[in-house]
Structure 1
Amino acid sequence: MRISFERTGGFAGISKKTTLDTATLPPKEAKELPVLVEAADLFQLPEKITSSHPQSDRFQYKLTIEDNGKQHTVTVSETALPGTLRPLIEWLNHTAQKKS
């Protein structure tokens, strides 16, 4: 499983981008990532999730997942983040921070 994660926006407008692959992650993280993706039901989410009340200086997240020949991209604003997706976003933010 491979996932590309990009966070843009925020007050400072700093972009963060990383790509993670379960084949190259440490064993603990390689086990956690698929569990979080499945819990988020990522492949079933629409390609774009927006808020009916957009707010300036909020983050935008773009996730592209590749697994078993399937690929799906989801772009979501921080204000419209579904609860099922939040643990995956937090994990990706934390993991991307450790890599930088």
Structure 2
Amino acid sequence: MRISFERTGGFAGISKKTTFDTATLPPNEAQELPRLVEAADLFKLPERITSPNPQSDRFQYKLTVEDNGRQHTVMVSEAALPGTLRPLIEWLNKNRS
């Protein structure tokens, strides 16, 4: 499984991108990441999740997951982050370099 993760926005408007690949992650992370993707039900989420009340200086996230020949991209604003997706976003933010 590969995940391309991009965070943009925030007060400084800085964009940060990174890619995670379970083939190269330490074993414990390589097992945790697919569990988080499955718990988020990521492949069933819409491509764009927006907040009805957009707020400036909030982060925007773009995730592209590739797994077993499937690929799905989700763009979500921090203000509209579904609870099921929050643990995955937090993990990606914590582990990005």
The normalised TM-score by structure 1 is: 0.96
Q: Which residue of 1 aligns with 2:62?
A: 62
What is the alpha-carbon distance in structure 2 between the residues aligned to residue 46 and residue 37 of structure 1?
Answer: 14
Q: Equivalents in 2 of 1:23, 1:37: separation in Å?
A: 16
Q: Which amino acid aligns with 2:58?
A: R
Q: Map of 1:39-58 to 2, 5 A cutoff?
A: 39-58=39-58
Q: Offset at 1:34?
A: 0.2
Q: Deviations over 1:36-66 (max 9, x none)?
A: 0000000000000000000000000000000
- What amino acid is aligned across from residue 86 of structure 1 in structure 2? R
Percent identity of the aligned residues? 84
Q: 1:6 & 1:26 partners in 2: Cα distance?
A: 21
Q: Gaps (5+ residues) in structure 1?
A: none
1:34 matched residue in structure 2: 34
Residues in 1 aligned to 2:60 and 2:51: alpha-carbon distance in whole angstroms: 11
Provide the C-alpha distance between the structure 2 equivalents of 1:9 and 1:86, rounded to a whole number of angstroms: 17
Size of the alignment, in residue pairs?
97
2:4 is matched with 4
TM-score, length-normalised on structure 2? 0.99
List, as ranges, runs of 4+ consecutive aligned residues in structure 1 with deviation greater than 6 Å.
none
Q: For residue 23 of structure 1, what is the aligned residue in structure 2?
A: 23
Q: Report SS of the residue matched to 1:32.
A: helix
